[in-house]
């Protein structure tokens, strides 16, 4: 009788500890480039971006964090983020098979201790009305988080 080999166990679709580490590293990278990030930012189309950041001249960047191959394959919403930003990035952990990611968006690789831009995002300039709407929503989101923090409420 042949030995029974264990089946490979696939990565879970979402690994919260990996997501949190990559989000932290990508946020630190954004701060290092003078972008101010917020997490879980809801866009006008109802989609929620993992990280949205505003730059010193009002540039809007969105970063979609993918913790595993299964997480990437299960989530096809990312094209709906691009119309709301000047630059769009994927952020993944070290060892992620980057060949699976589309070539168009920018690419960040990071962990809880930092991140690096592997591929810069192409710049898509938002039209004035869309920029104003996203900037106002960003400001309200950030202010709501700040107010919740001041009042000791979860944000």
Domain 16-150 grouped into CATH 3.40.1350: yes
**Parallel/antiparallel/unpaired status of strands 60-65 and 48-54:** antiparallel
Choice between 121 and 10, residue whose per-residue pLDDT is larger: 121
Q: Does residue 139 carry a pLDDT above 90? A: yes
- Name the one residue in this structure whose structure tokens are 């010193």: 56
Contact 29, 108 (CB under 8 A): yes
User: 94-109: per-residue pLDDT in tens?
Assistant: 999 999 999 999 999 9
* Rounded mean pLDDT, 18-39: 98
Contact 105, 90 (CB under 8 A): yes
Task: Supply the DSSP string of 13-76, one letter for each residue.
Answer: S--HHHHHHHHHHHHHHHHHTT-EEEEEEEPTTS-EEEEEEE-TTS-EEEEEE--SHHHHHH--
User: 52-97: per-residue pLDDT in tens?
Assistant: 999 999 999 999 999 999 999 998 889 999 999 999 999 999 999 9
Domain ranges of the chain: 16-150
């Amino acid at each position: 009788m042949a030995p029974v080999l264990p089946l490979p166990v696939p990565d879970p679709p979402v690994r919260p500890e990996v997501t949190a580490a990559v989000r932290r590293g990508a946020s630190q990278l954004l701060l290092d480039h003078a972008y101010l990030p917020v997490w879980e930012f809801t866009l006008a189309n109802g989609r929620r971006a993992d990280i949205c950041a505003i730059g010193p001249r009002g540039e809007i960047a969105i970063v979609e964090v993918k913790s595993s191959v299964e997480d990437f394959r299960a989530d096809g919403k990312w094209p709906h983020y691009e119309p709301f930003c000047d630059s769009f990035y994927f952020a993944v952990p070290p060892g992620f098979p980057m060949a699976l990611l589309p070539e168009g968006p920018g690419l960040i690789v990071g962990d809880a201790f930092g991140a690096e831009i592997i591929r810069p995002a192409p710049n898509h300039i938002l039209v004035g009305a869309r920029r104003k709407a996203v900037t106002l929503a960003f400001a309200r989101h950030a202010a709501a988080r700040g107010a919740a923090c001041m009042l000791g409420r979860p944000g």
